[in-house]
Structure 1
Amino acid sequence: MSSSTPSRLWDISPTVSPDAPIFPGDEPYHLRWTAQLAPGCPVNLSALTMSPHVGAHADAPLHYAHDAPAIDAVPLDTYLGRCRVIHAIGAAPLITVKHLQHAESQLPPRVLVRVCQRADTVWNPAFTAYAPEAIAWLAERGVKLIGIDTPSVDPADSKVLDSHQQLRRLDLRVLENLVLDDVPEGDYELIALPLKLQGACASPVRAILRELP
């Protein structure tokens, strides 16, 4: 009987905790116990409150457009499949086309861009975002999902969310708050399925990359 080596996995999700960095005013992660093991109680049970944008997450179109699909109505196929990690470490304040062109050949439908040497563990309002033109450039090449290792594809102080609106116009999906610190540039299988949260504007994901055969 032959044995095969399991494919390597990269966990690209930060730990969700009360200290996880969030946009000012957003709902932090909080866990409380509703039951605990004791005589007459056979289980521990917890309850959670948090914004669905804490940690690695998938935005729904509803997050940036009225009468757009909530996360429970978004098809799942985009969040699963071949993916390219592109390094643009140090790009600031925006990821532009020039940061992506070196990895243009035969782009798969999913692209995650690493801009951080190490992902922030505290709130940093000067994080790097996407230029709308870079999103359009990726879409022209067949990309259906983009991701980034910062809190948002738009700058922290943006009031018009040009890059989110570009996603809406082009019908692209997005993953934010990833951790790509230890992931070499290259192609992988992405698995980052959102929860089926009725009516929600986003969902946490446990995002992983799997080595391709």
Structure 2
Amino acid sequence: MPKVRHVSPPSFPMTYRLPDDYPNVTEIHMSVHTGTHLDSPFHFINDGPGMDALPLERMYGPGVVWHLPDVEAYKVVEPEDLMACTPELQPGDILLLDTGWWDKCGGTPEYEKFPCLSQASAEWLVEMRCKLVGIDNGTPEMAKDMRPEGWKWPVHHTLFSRGVLVGEFVRNMKALAGQRVEVLFLALNLAGADGAPARVISRPIN
């Protein structure tokens, strides 16, 4: 299960186990930013809403799946890269963005050179009235070793300040690339949380 590198690895110890105990019971020990998950605005905005304050309609609806071909290490995805994708993003859509970087998850050296959205791309998504953007790596932000001094997580702040949610470590998008889809982010309703694990379900819109 992938995670961002500054949090503890997940573990799932069994506190009870058959046949000595009844029934089998497993505990979950992990950051809410582990595996496929949805960030709430509270992740970066102290007075922003937590997971339980997000309306359900923010987490589902029509959208598009875009694949960015031949993405190189540290690629900065600019608005022109997004505008070249099809089908067009419509107001209120969810965007699922497949950079191909999911295949490098799991602690590979290549993973830490992941691509990112530029602040201009975040602003473009706001202008297009995208309501949620999901990406296949652990953050839409610049990779850590490329961040300049004084860097302040501009993509998250731009999106969250305008009501756009962020999903991370979204996987298995290739089969739907280039299609309009229905998307559901089935995130746990954790009270006051800055994020939550999510199961993402999508299907083509015929």
Q: What is the TM-score when the length of structure 2 is the normalising length?
A: 0.85
Q: CA deviation at 1:138?
A: 2.0
Contact 1:119 1:181 in 2 (8 A): no
Q: CA deviation at 1:125?
A: 1.4
Alignment of 1:4-43 (within 5 A): 20-38=1-19, 41-43=21-23
> Superposition RMSD on alpha carbons, in Å?
1.9
Q: CA deviation at 1:117?
A: 6.3
Q: What is the TM-score when the length of structure 1 is the normalising length?
A: 0.83
Instruction: For 1:118 and 1:160, locate their aligned partners in 2 and report how far apart those are by CA, in whole Å.
Output: 25
Q: CA deviation at 1:24?
A: 2.3
Per the alignment, do residues 34 and 118 of structure 1 end up closer, same or farther by CA in structure 2, a change over 3 Å counting? closer
Per the alignment, do residues 120 and 183 of structure 1 end up closer, same or farther by CA in structure 2, a change over 3 Å counting? farther
Instruction: For 2:168 and 2:159, locate their aligned partners in 1 and report how far apart those are by CA, in whole Å.
Output: 13
Instruction: For 1:71 and 1:27, locate their aligned partners in 2 and report how far apart those are by CA, in whole Å.
Output: 21
Instruction: For 1:199 and 1:52, locate their aligned partners in 2 and report how far apart those are by CA, in whole Å.
Output: 12
Q: Report the residue type matching 1:31 in the other structure.
A: F
Name the residue aligned to 1:167: 159
Q: Among residues 99, 104, 115, which one is paired with 1:128 in the alignment?
A: 115
Q: CA deviation at 1:163?
A: 0.2
Instruction: For 1:165 and 1:58, locate their aligned partners in 2 and report how far apart those are by CA, in whole Å.
Output: 15
Identical residues among aligned pairs (%): 25
List gaps (5 residues or longer) in structure 1: 1-19
Per the alignment, do residues 105 and 183 of structure 1 end up closer, same or farther by CA in structure 2, a change over 3 Å counting? closer
Q: Report the residue type matching 2:103 in the other structure.
A: A
Aligned length: 193
Contact 1:33 1:45 in 2 (8 A): yes
Name the residue aligned to 1:105: 88
Going by fraction, where is helix more abundant, 1 or 2? 2
